[in-house]
Amino acid sequence: MFIVMRRKTAGMVFAGIFFFGISLGLYNFALHPNMYNWEKQGILIREVKTDQKVIALTFDDGPDPVNTRALLQVLEKHEAQATFFVLGKLAEKYPDLVKEMTEAGHEIGNHSYSHADFNGKSDDFIRKEIKKTSAIIKDITGQNPKFFRPPGGYLSHAMVDLTKEEDLTIGYWTWEQDSKDWRNGTSGEQIAKHILNHLQSGQIVVLHDGASNGMQTVKAMDILIPQLKKSGYKCVSLSRLLELENHE
């Protein structure tokens, strides 16, 4: 099910989708009825309204010693900034890569320690996954992460409360900007085309440097970023994207 939502109608859409999903026995991250309220409260960010031509590229599931290093080279080549949502267990294994990200001006976000499915897990389990990863990031970079992206996009009231305890904003993504780049067989050209075809200012793009198809994501960035720059767009971190939000 592909869902496109705008702020004006999001409340009604969420309600309708929620009950439809329940009737089918389907209940996943895209159907959570409280997402719109969390977004309004600033607990969760999915996109921003801005007059400036900016988007945030975000990369999940790394760092990977091959994919991430190649990606960092492409981002440096095109002078683009990004946000990396790292797994704690991989950040522990490859701390030098996390340092390289920070030294290059990229932002580091928390993507849990092990990428476990949070559905059905205890509050204590989720708390440990979040706190441990934040501590690892702080130890490597000297800075606490500002954003948390739940594995699989899982959302619950308890998990949201835990992120608030840790002073973390949930860094989600714009619905239209999930190119499924992690799927084996998805080409760099297809990934770049998807992003360009759905492009709007203020979007958050979800990508994966830690997936087995990660080199196609790297290839996509080498295609995409020059096209974005040609159209007047700039790639910024999530923190910078929030700074550029229009406040009515």
pLDDT at 5: 40
Look at phi and psi of residue 33 and say left if phi exceeds 0, alpha if psi is from -120 to 50, else beta: alpha
Q: Single out the residue of 93, 161, 102 nearest to residue 126, CA to CA.
A: 161
Considering the entire predicted model, what is its pTM? 0.88
Same domain, 178 and 239: yes
Q: Inform me whether the pLDDT recorded for 24 exceeds 50.
A: no
**One of 32, 60, 111, 194 is an active-site residue; which one?**
60
Does the residue 129 lie in any domain?
A: no
Q: Inform me whether the pLDDT recorded for 32 exceeds 90.
A: no
Does the residue 136 lie in any domain?
A: no
Q: What is the CATH number of the domain that holds 213?
A: 3.20.20.370
**One of 32, 178, 208, 209 is an active-site residue; which one?**
208
Q: Single out the residue of 50, 32, 22 nearest to residue 172, CA to CA.
A: 32
Apex 9 CA angle, 85 and 233, nearest 5 = 45
Total domains, the chain: 2
pLDDT at 1: 30
Same domain, 104 and 13: no
Residue with tokens 């294994």: 93
Q: Inform me whether the pLDDT recorded for 248 exceeds 70.
A: no
Owning domain of residue 37: 9-41
pLDDT at 172: 96
pLDDT at 193: 98
188 vs 35: which has the higher pLDDT = 188
Same domain, 49 and 20: no
pLDDT at 14: 46
pLDDT at 33: 86
Same domain, 175 and 89: yes
Average confidence (pLDDT) over 101-108: 98
- Residues 60-83: tens digit of each pLDDT: 999 999 999 999 999 999 999 999
Same domain, 91 and 34: no
Q: Inform me whether the pLDDT recorded for 16 exceeds 50.
A: no
- 78 part of the active site: no
- 60 part of the active site: yes
- Residues 147-201: tens digit of each pLDDT: 999 999 999 999 999 999 999 999 999 999 999 999 999 999 999 999 999 999 9
Q: Mean pLDDT over all residues of the chain?
A: 90
